[in-house]
A and B are shown apart, each in its own frame.
Chain A
Amino acid sequence: MTFLETALFVIAIYIALVLVRVILGPTIWDRLLGLNAISAKIIMSIVIFSIITEQPYLLDVALVYALLGFIGTVLIARFIEKKGDIS
Chain B
Amino acid sequence: MIDLLAYLLITIALIFMALGVIGLFRFKDFYSRILISAKIETVGFLTIMIGFTILSGLSYAAMKILLITLMVMITNPLSTHAIARSAFLSGYPINQEPRR
Q: Which residues from chain A sit less than 8 Å from chain B, CB to CB?
A: 3, 7, 10-11, 14, 17-18, 20-21, 27, 29-30, 32-34, 36-37, 40-41, 43-44, 47-48, 50-51, 56, 59-60, 62-63, 66-67, 69-70, 73-74, 77-78, 80-81, 83
Contacts and interface: CB of A to CB of B under 8 A. Distances in A.
Contacts of B92: 27, 29
Interface of B: 7, 10, 14, 17-18, 20-21, 24-25, 30, 33-34, 37, 41, 45, 48-49, 52, 55-56, 59-61, 64-65, 67-68, 71-72, 75-76, 78-80, 82-83, 85-87, 89-90, 92
Q: Is the interface of A mostly helix, strand, loop or mixed?
A: helix
B60 A56 contact: yes
